[in-house]
Each structure stands twice: as structure tokens, then as C-alpha cells.
A and B are shown apart, each in its own frame.
Chain A
Amino acid sequence: MEHFAAFAARLFGVALVALSIFVSIETVARKLFNFSFEGADELGGYVLAIGSSLAFVVALVDRAHIRIDVLHARFPKRLQAVMDWLSIVSIAGLGLFILYVGRIVIVDTLAYGSTAPTPWATPLIWPQAAWYAALCLFALASIYMAVRATVHVINGRLDQVTAEFHPKGAIEELQEEMEDLGRR
């Protein structure tokens, strides 16, 4: 899971840097030479669609999807574990739901042969297929984690659930920041 998140983050970052360079060239060329590739904004939209779906996975692995933990921290230990379990199961449910409704988009795009109304006239299925694949990864990752949490619950290892799935508070995030600060 960790390896996969690391890979997804790299892919996302490289895509952002490449997009930045492309868009910068486009912007400067348009200002100075009246010349345009006429597609930078279209490309930006696709990078966001695919990249943010990959980023869902990274946020999932890093437990960054926001949960309000003000009461959670005061719950009895058992209830904390139950909430952590329910939360990860509900995210898996969300992942499946997005897959279900996203499939309709893909099926329609294939049926209509939809083409972006832009200079590049990109067949929409290309970016959408990559987008959907990334959403599949998010669903798979969340299901894997939900199953893992459920197995812990069945075996009565509630503290293991808390250890792996409790909401990550600001303090924990800060510790990571401090470590990085020490390195630079």
C-alpha cells in the first residue's frame, strides 16, 4: 500500500511539474510571440481529473481525509475503534459508489464517441479511461483497508484498528513537519 501511494504521489508530482512547464511556455509565447498551442487549459483539466483521483489514494493511505476528532479523542477506547472501523468502511462504500456512477460516464462516452470541443479535438475516452482507472485504484485501496479493519474487528483486535485507522490529528502531522525541518 505504502509503495503504491509513493508511486502515485510521484506520478502526480511529475505530471504537475510537466504541466507547469508546458503552461508557462504557452503563457510566455502567447504574450511575446502571439503564438499559442491552444490546449494548455484542456491539458490542465485532464491532469487534475487523473491526478486528483490518484491523490485520493495518497490521502487515504496517509489518513488525510478529514474527520473531526474533537469528540473522538474523548470517546471510550472501544467506541473509538468502532468509529475508526465504520469510517474506513464508509470510505470503501464511497469508493464503490464513485465507481458505479463513474462507469455510466465511461459507457456513455464510448457510446457517443464524445470529442472535446477544443482545438485538439481529444477523444474524451482517453482522459476519462485514465481517470476511471485511477478511481478504481482508490476503490480497491479503500476496500483493502476496510477488509483489513474488519478482520481486526472480527478477531477482537480493537486497539489494532485504532492504531491503523484513527484520524490523524494536527499533532501527528506536525511531528512529520518537524522531522522534515530537521533535514533541511
Chain B
Amino acid sequence: MGVGVVFTGFFGMMGLLLMSFPIAVIMVVLGVIGGVLLYGWPLLNSMGPVIWGVQNENILTAVPLFILLGELLLRSGIADRMYGALAIWLNRLPGGLLHTNIGCCSLFAATSGSSVATAATVGTVALPNLKRRGYGSRQALGSLAAGGTLGILIPPSVNLLIYGSLANESIGQLFIAGIIPGIALTLLFMVYIASESYFIPASDGEEEAKVPLAMKLAALKHLVPPAIIFAVVMGSIYFGIATPTESAALGVVVALAFAAREGKLSLEFFDNCFRQTAKTTGMILLIITAAFMLNVTLALGGIAQTMTAWVASFGLAPWALLMALIVFYLFLGMFMDVLSMQVLTIPVALPIVTAVGIDPIWFGIFIVLMCELGMITPPVGMNLYVVQGVRTDGGPFRDVVLGAIPYALIMVLFTILLIFVPQIVTWLPETMSGR
């Protein structure tokens, strides 16, 4: 199979995607038609075991559990209160409440995977405050859109789980690998906010009033539940007590206990959490199942080998290859939903990069950063839509896009930094496994 056929297939698929056909259907149709052409009707009879194999995969059980965990925290109001607590603590940094946006998003991120819910919650609480205190709307909207993407880098992360299951890599190692880059990117965002506020004071809001220490300490209690959940989930993985699926289950039980303490455990509460979890799980699992079906055909057709050989023929150095991939993903991320982008490209991209000696755990973090980027690049950028939807001033979409651009640039520069200093990703997982 030649490179030409691969590209024809790829662009044909992009065409169907943009026509708005359901992505799972496109993947199955391509997988089945391509597979039957290549391998005849036996392929069809082999699809059943493939479907059962994916849906019965214990590792993927962590996906609905982490989604449920996030829903429980969100809908019990635990997450909402974090914003207030963080605002009190981060207020007086140069850039004020904008830090709270980023900080709150990342703390949120540490316990949940859903970026729509994160941005919606934080945005709704934050925007009126920001407006009242005179922050520029571009800065405020940008920090919310970018902050919301941190959820898929800082573990637990459904996107890292999906990468691990497609790439056959340890989910635990991937989660651990996400911690330092997640914190580093959060800090970079905050440094950017502080320096913008320092050099362009007009963008900054009013000086915040000083909050008495007693009140500051009292506010800390709202940070306790998310901190404990993060400690339980990541601690049990780090110390090897639990597999990621088990750690998700522990997280759910602890979150239930907190929700019970809040007196939230009503039938309506559960109904709401369960409905959201089922909806998101159904969406994600159908795409993953379809991806595995397509993957069989890709493998049998030797697509990955073809592409690996083709890319190798350019003789690129690893850093140059990764730069090219950044451009590729930046482009793809403009037009594709990031989950689809992930499942469609990993089976082909991973063999290409491992062939030049790039660590697969490192590449998982790279892919997730590219997904984060895709969430804030127009025209298809989930977080841009969401933040635009939360605002009440009726301003143009352009504000959100412009506000997000500096953060997108930071993400690209950060990814380039990771290319040249891969230890930022690999050090912690290697230390953990005793290497």
C-alpha cells in the first residue's frame, strides 16, 4: 500500500468528517470497507471479538469512573467553592483574579477530566467578579479558555487513559508523567499573566483589598476535599497500592463521602451525575471501539509501516520530526474535535516516532499538549465556544480567540522546551519505578 492511498484515505475521511457525519460511523465504515477490500469477508467475522475485547477491557473501566468522580465533585458544589477560596489566596499577585482562574482550573483539573464543565463552572463564577473589578475582557476570557485545557494534562486524565490503551503503555506511568508538565504549564501561564499585568498595567483590574489571615485560613477548608481526592487517586498510583482503575474507584468512594457530608445525596443529584456520566461515556467508548476496529484494518494494511518508511525517507532528526508533528497537529486541531484527532492519529504516529527513538510515555504527554492546543484554536475549539457561551456581555467571539492566542503560543513554546529537555516529562516516572 502506497503513501498516496493513505493520504487519499485520510483526506476522504476529513471530507466526510466536515460533512458532519458521525465520527464513529466514519471510522467503522472506513475500517470495514478497507479491511474487506484488503482481506475479504473473514475480516467481518473477526470484528465481533474485537468489539468485545475493547468493551471488556478493565483498563478502560477507569474512563467512566473518572468521569463520574468529576461529576460528583462538580454537582455537589465542592468545586464551586474552590474558586472563592483560591481567589482569596491568589488575589494580590500581579494579575490578581486571573491567577485564580488558572489556579482554579488546574486544581479542578486535578480531580476531573471534563473541560466543558470546568470552564462553565469557573467561568460563571469568575466572569461577573472580573467584570466588576474592571479586568479587560480579552485577558479574562483567554485565561479561562486556556486554564480549562489543563484538565487533560494534569492527572487523572481521560485523554492520557485513552492514549495508554491505544499505545499499550502503563497508565500509571503516564499519569505520573503528566504531573510536572502540568504544574510547569500552570506556572508558565501565571508568569505570563503577572508580566502582562506588570508591563501593560491597563489590562489589570483594581487593586484587591487585603484579606485578614484568619479568613484566609478559614477559606482553606474548601480546598481540602479536592486535595484529599487528588492525594488518594495519585498517591495510590504513585505508591503502587492501586491500579489506575482501582484508584478511580477509591476516588469515587471518597467523593461520595464528601458529597454526603455536604448533604447533597438526593435522587435528583444522582440522576444528574449518572446521566452526564452515561452520556460522556457512551460518546467516548463508541469512538474508542470504532478506533480499534479501524486499527485492525490499518495494521493489516501495514499503514503504520508505510508511513514510518515514508517519514524515515526524509531522514529527519527527531527534533525536526517533532516540529513537523507540531505543525501537523496544530492544523488538524483547528478542524477536528480533539478526542477524534487523538484516536485517529496515535496508531500511525506512535510507530513513526518510536522508530526514531522517542520515548512512548513522553509522546503521550506531547499528544495531550497538542490536544490542549486544539481546544483553544479556532474554528473548532471546544473551550473557545464554552467561554464565549458563559459571558453575559454579548461581546464578539474574536475577544476569546485573541485572548487565547498568547496561551496557545506558550503551549507551543512549552512543547518545544519538552522536545529539548525531555526529562521534564520522564524524570518523575523513571524515579517512581526505581530506575
Contact = CB atoms under 8 A, between A and B. Distances in A.
A55 B32 contact: no
Contact of A59 (B18, B65, B252, B283): B283
A169 B56 CA distance: 30
Interface stretch (B87-95, B243-251, B353-361, B364-372): B243-251
A44 B25 contact: no
Chain B: interface secondary structure? Answer: helix
B382 interface: yes
B51 A98 contact: yes
B340 A66 contact: yes
Given A16-B64, A93-B25, A59 B19 contact: no
Looking at chain B, what size class is its interface with the partner chain?
A: 35 or more
A147 interface: no
A16 B252 contact: yes
A31 B243 CA distance: 12
A87 B80 CA distance: 37
Contacts of B248: 20
Contact of A91 (B18, B25, B63, B76): B25
A161 interface: no
B287 A54 contact: no
B55 A16 contact: no
Contact of B21 (A86, A131, A170): A86
A177 B61 contact: no
Contacts of A54: 278, 282
Given A16-B64, A17-B252, A177-B117, A71 B282 contact: no
B19 to A, nearest CB: 6
B275 interface: yes
Nearest to A28: B250
A71 B379 CA distance: 10
Interface stretch (B98-106, B319-327, B385-393): B385-393
A91 B277 CA distance: 21
Given A55-B278, A177-B116, A27 B285 contact: no
A153 interface: no
A96 to B, nearest CB: 11
Contacts of A16: 64-65, 68, 252, 274, 277
A181 interface: yes
B415 to A, nearest CB: 24
B22 interface: yes
A137 to B, nearest CB: 12
Contacts of B396: none
A121 interface: no
Given A51-B64, A170-B116, A177-B117, A45 B56 contact: yes
Contacts of A51: 64, 278, 281
A24 B22 CA distance: 37
Contacts of B45: 101, 104
B68 A103 contact: no
Most chain A beta-carbon neighbours within 10 Å: one of B64, B116, B386: B64
B278 A12 contact: yes
Nearest to A171: B389
Contacts of B386: 170, 174
Given A9-B271, A72-B20, 7 more contacts: A13-B68, A19-B249, A20-B252, A44-B245, A54-B278, A68-B380, A174-B389
